[in-house]
Amino acid sequence: MTARILSGVEVAAALRAEVSAAVAAHTGAMGLATVLVGDDPASHVYVSLKHAAAVAAGMVSIDRRLPATATQAEVEAVVDELNADPDVVGMIVQLPLPDGIDGDRVVERVDPGKDADGLHPLNLGRLVLGRPTVTPATPTGILRILDHYHIATVGALAVVVGRSFLVGRPLALMLGARGADATVVQAHSRTAGLADLTRSADLLVVAAGTPRLIGGGDVKPGATVIDVGTTRTESGLVGDVDFASVVEVAGAVTPVPGGVGPMTIASLLANTVSLARQRRGSR
């Protein structure tokens, strides 16, 4: 068996086209702001990609960068300024923040109505309660991939390996919510009998941050495997899944790169459109 390759590039292109049409129909500026602190190379590359995508979609891209020596008060002051700017519809605080900066405090400082990442405690709380809200970008992108390729989740056993508040925890909630209706097991790298568990999954999502954690012997034949991991090595990006062995067992699998990654940025843009509509509806 050779698995079907689930291209996030294709799905992201379709979503970006939807976003561009929505931005063109929007009255007034639709600004997406990012706050980047420090010199982390990966963060700088990622933020630059976000800005390029926002501009391509017709949004106003607002780029606020602070040095690694910035204080907590200085970072929070920038967030306050963007909260007060009427042209800023969505905002992203690029994580992780440098040592000495309390990232939780900074994220909580963001106006929940401008939270394009969907990571503010209020928005995560609404997700737990099943109330309409913006949802974290990467889990949202994963669900869009499944929908695009008509991969059913209703009644499926979904195993999510990883428990971060960026991906694992919110994704488990979203897969188990009404409409998705999967039976969800949350696991992690310290789960006893992890391989036995992953081999039972109809849908396996790996977001543990451990390169090649899952091999072909850890996957149920015909299962759908979503690889969220990205670790940069001398030979390029490597996922949490050993693609070469898993592709011979799974029914469908996302590649790294070109799988989940493109969906994260596209989903951030879609979240910004949703925030603009919410703002318009509240007036």
- Sign of the torsion angle spanned by Cα atoms 43, 97, 271, 206: positive
Amino acid sitting at position 51 = H
Question: Strand 231-233 and strand 236-238: pairing?
Answer: antiparallel
Beta bridge partners of 203: 158, 224
Question: What 3-state class would DSSP assign to 270?
Answer: helix
Question: Token pair 């561009």 is at which residue?
Answer: 20
Residue in 114, 115, 117, 242 annotated catalytic: 117
Question: Which DSSP letter does residue 43 get?
Answer: H
Among 53, 66, 86, 69, residue whose Cα is nearest residue 264: 53
Residue in 40, 63, 87, 94 annotated catalytic: 94
Q: What are phi and psi of 272, to 5 degrees?
A: -65, -40
| Active-site residue flag, 50 | yes
Question: Strand 224-227 and strand 203-206: pairing?
Answer: parallel
How many angstroms separate the Cα of 251 from the Cα of each of 11, 126, 224?
Answer: 19, 34, 6
| Active-site residue flag, 186 | no
Judge if the upstream peptide bond of residue 98 is cis by omega within 30 degrees of 0. Answer: no
Dist. CA 91–CA 12, nearest whole Å: 20
| Active-site residue flag, 114 | no
Tokens of 108: 């909580």
Beta bridge partners of 157: 183
Among 166, 29, 30, 147, residue whose Cα is nearest residue 94: 166
Residue numbers annotated as active site: 50, 94, 117
